[in-house]
């Protein structure tokens, strides 16, 4: 019996001596700030166009390579967004016009106050107190009443406008 008693005492001593070790692996908690304020802070600043594509129905996509166009997107602390894309290639400018994107002197321009929808990842141009801002080119890919779906890949902001069928009408990629 002495051997059994010793085994029980040894096991009890070992069990009492074991303490929980601190967790060594970091716990992944998701984005640091997934609030509306965090999204606004992320978007704030000046972005440079990396690429731009337009998908006109029944026609081949129109690409604006960096050699044929430059662009800036500015988002301020008051939720104003200004996008200016300068197209230097007349063929691309003509193709954009045919796709329903109005250009003035080779410039695509959208400017206005925006509202961010975190749940749907959209940015929509708004006219204060009047809901969605509607432009004259309502059917165009950049119509002001179309939300811009946004996502982030690394340090790249991707803005996509979609048609009623959910297919992309335009995709732009921006870097700070």
Domains of the chain, CATH where assigned: 44-175 (2.40.128)
Q: Considering just the CA atoms, what is the radius of gyration of the chain in Å? A: 27
pLDDT single digits (tens) 39-53: 999 999 999 999 999
| Closest residue by Cα to residue 82 from 50, 123, 120 | 123
What's the pLDDT score for residue 135?
A: 41
DSSP state of 131: S
Prediction pTM value: 0.73
- Report the C-alpha gap between 36 and 141 in whole angstroms: 26
Q: Which band of pLDDT confidence, cut at 50, 70 and 90, is reported for residue 26?
A: very low
Query: How wide is the angle at C-alpha 161 spanned by C-alphas 113 and 60, nearest 5°?
Result: 140
Helix/strand number for the chain, H first, E second: 3, 9
- The more confidently predicted of residues 15 and 137 is 15
Q: What is the pLDDT of residue 131?
A: 46
How far apart are alpha carbons 12 and 5 in whole angstroms?
11
Contacts of 150 (CB under 8 A, 6+ apart): 43, 121, 122, 123, 157, 158, 159, 160
pLDDT in tens, 86-139: 999 999 999 999 998 889 999 998 888 999 999 999 999 874 444 444 444 456
Per-residue model confidence (pLDDT) at position 17: 52
Contact partners, residue 82, CB within 8 Å, separation at least 6: 72, 73, 74, 109, 110, 111
Place of tokens 């997107």: 73
């Amino acid at each position: 019996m002495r051997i059994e008693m010793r085994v029980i005492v040894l096991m009890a001593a070992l069990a009492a001596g074991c303490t929980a070790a601190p967790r060594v692996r970091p716990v992944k908690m998701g984005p640091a700030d997934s609030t509306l304020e965090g999204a606004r802070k992320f978007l704030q600043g000046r972005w440079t166009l990396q690429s731009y594509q337009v998908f006109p129905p029944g026609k081949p996509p129109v690409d604006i390579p960096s050699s044929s166009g430059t662009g800036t997107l500015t988002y301020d602390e008051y939720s104003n967004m200004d996008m200016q894309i300068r197209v230097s290639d007349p063929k691309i400018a003509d193709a954009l016009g045919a796709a329903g994107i109005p250009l003035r002197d080779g410039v695509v321009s959208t400017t206005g106050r925006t509202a961010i929808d975190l749940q749907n990842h959209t940015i929509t141009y708004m006219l204060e107190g009047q809901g969605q801002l509607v432009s004259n080119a309502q059917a165009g890919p950049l119509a002001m009443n179309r939300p811009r779906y946004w996502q982030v890949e690394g340090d790249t902001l991707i803005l996509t406008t979609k048609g009623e069928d959910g297919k992309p009408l335009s995709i732009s990629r921006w870097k700070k």
